[in-house]
Chains A and B, each alone.
Chain A
Amino acid sequence: MNQYEQPAETPELSSERLDTLLRALAAEPRRMIYTYLAEHDSATLTDLTDVVEGWTRARGRATDADNWDDTRTALHHRHLPVLDDAGIVRYDVAQQTATLAPLPPSTTQVLATIIDLEIDYGD
């Protein structure tokens, strides 16, 4: 891309917004949730718990103390609300379903870059 092809339709993010996004993806379970939703758009809390539990173990990060119920609690009370507050995910607490929020291209680009970094180099 040369200097005349800067994506005019992708406005830059404010530093405040960038901080929010980076904070939202600062925890591995939240990056896992985002990656899954980027692929499938929406999911139940149960499915997301399966994904985080399974993926964490597959990456060799789990300890014996980790268990499914604790992971579910952490998603429900911490990780999904953080993603919701950052405007990345809409978490319906009553239905216990999470849906990817409509995101501007600039945001999607930042999130995709973070996710790609982890998948390519994280292990």
Chain B
Amino acid sequence: MTVSTLLRRFESAEVAMTVYGPSEATAVVERLANQGIDATWRKLPTGEQDAFVVVRRDGVFAGTIPLTALQAFLCKPTVGSTDSGPPDSDPSRQLLSSALANTLLSSLTPAQLLATSHEFEDRAYRVGEGTLRVSFQSLSIFRSQRNRYETLARDTALDIHVYGRADWEPPTISGITFHPLTDEALEQVWLLAFDAAGDDQNKCALVAEETEDGPFRGLWTYNPRLVDEIMATVAAVDE
């Protein structure tokens, strides 16, 4: 199975958001629609601070959050930019993160993907063991992340595997195995998967594919079965 077929399975995932608030709230509805999310605005004289969003998954009420939390989330979908930062504890962000997990988003920017990658790397750092597989499209992109990964490899017992097109000769770093890609299966793909040494509570993965017109389409997931599947897909690439 390739990453593309994996992503295609999530095209029909049903997340719907209804935004209640004054007309200023319509901008966020457009942004959601750009991500391929079913979003509706219903006028309500709440005042901007009290505007809110109702999230439904497969038609079932999943939760409600302040509109301001959704706006912040769309700018930066995950928190955790520091290695020692606490896990994401804000309930609104948790709801959005879990509501949008397993949902194919059609317009992700590199900044959003990087933020999510960092959150998952932080999680791997905290767990401290297990296998982490990362694909940065080209190995040369790894250069900008080198310090983070040297810290990850030095401070933990993680088994780290980095994939990418062979456009750069990587250094030898204990704990990190580089996999120069010879076929094109992963070249359009930004991917990170962590098996948390078998602990289902901490498994996570991010898969995104670069589209022809620029942005990435992809998803992140905490579903352990899906993470296992993604791990296996990546591991099979250079077998």
Given known contacts A54-B52, A54-B54, A57-B52, A123 and B47 CB-to-CB distance under 8 angstroms: yes
CB-nearest residue of chain A to B53: A54
- Residue-wise interface mask of A (53-66) relative to B, using a CB-CB cutoff of 8 A (1 in contact, 0 not): 11101110000000
Cβ–Cβ contact B43 & A55, under 8 A? no
- A54: which B residues are within 8 A, CB to CB? 20, 52-54, 64
CB-nearest residue of chain B to A50: B54
Asked if B98 is at the interface of the complex by the 8 Å CB criterion, the answer is no
Q: What's the Cα separation between A46 and B192 when bound, in Å?
A: 39
Cβ–Cβ contact B50 & A55, under 8 A? yes
- B49: which A residues are within 8 A, CB to CB? 123
- Pick the contact of A58: B18, B50, B61 (CB < 8 A): B50
Asked if B232 is at the interface of the complex by the 8 Å CB criterion, the answer is no
Query: Interface residue count for B (Cβ, 8 Å)?
Result: 19
Cβ–Cβ contact B64 & A123, under 8 A? no
Cβ–Cβ contact A68 & B61, under 8 A? yes
**For A36, A39, A55, A68, which residue has the most chain B Cβ atoms within 10 angstroms?**
A55
Cβ–Cβ contact A55 & B20, under 8 A? yes
Cβ–Cβ contact B44 & A50, under 8 A? no
- B54: which A residues are within 8 A, CB to CB? 50, 53-54
Interface residues on A, range: 10 to 19
- B20: which A residues are within 8 A, CB to CB? 51, 54-55
Query: In whole Å, how far is A59's beta carbon from the nearest beta carbon of chain B?
Result: 6
Q: What's the Cα separation between A63 and B4 when bound, in Å?
A: 43
Asked if B45 is at the interface of the complex by the 8 Å CB criterion, the answer is yes
Asked if A119 is at the interface of the complex by the 8 Å CB criterion, the answer is yes
- Pick the contact of B61: A50, A59, A119, A123 (CB < 8 A): A50
Cβ–Cβ contact B64 & A57, under 8 A? yes
Cβ–Cβ contact A58 & B43, under 8 A? no
Asked if A77 is at the interface of the complex by the 8 Å CB criterion, the answer is no
- A49: which B residues are within 8 A, CB to CB? 61
- Residue-wise interface mask of B (76-98) relative to A, using a CB-CB cutoff of 8 A (1 in contact, 0 not): 00000000000000000000000
Cβ–Cβ contact B44 & A35, under 8 A? yes
Asked if B42 is at the interface of the complex by the 8 Å CB criterion, the answer is yes
**With A49-B61, A55-B20 given, can you name 6 additional A-B contacts, CB distance below 8 Å?**
A51-B20, A55-B46, A57-B64, A58-B52, A58-B67, A119-B46
Please list the 10 inter-chain residue pairs (A to B) with the smallest Cβ-Cβ separation, ordered nearest first: A54-B64, A58-B52, A54-B52, A50-B54, A58-B50, A68-B61, A54-B54, A58-B66, A57-B64, A39-B43
| Residues of B that sit less than 8 Å from A by CB | 18, 20, 42-47, 49-54, 61, 64-67
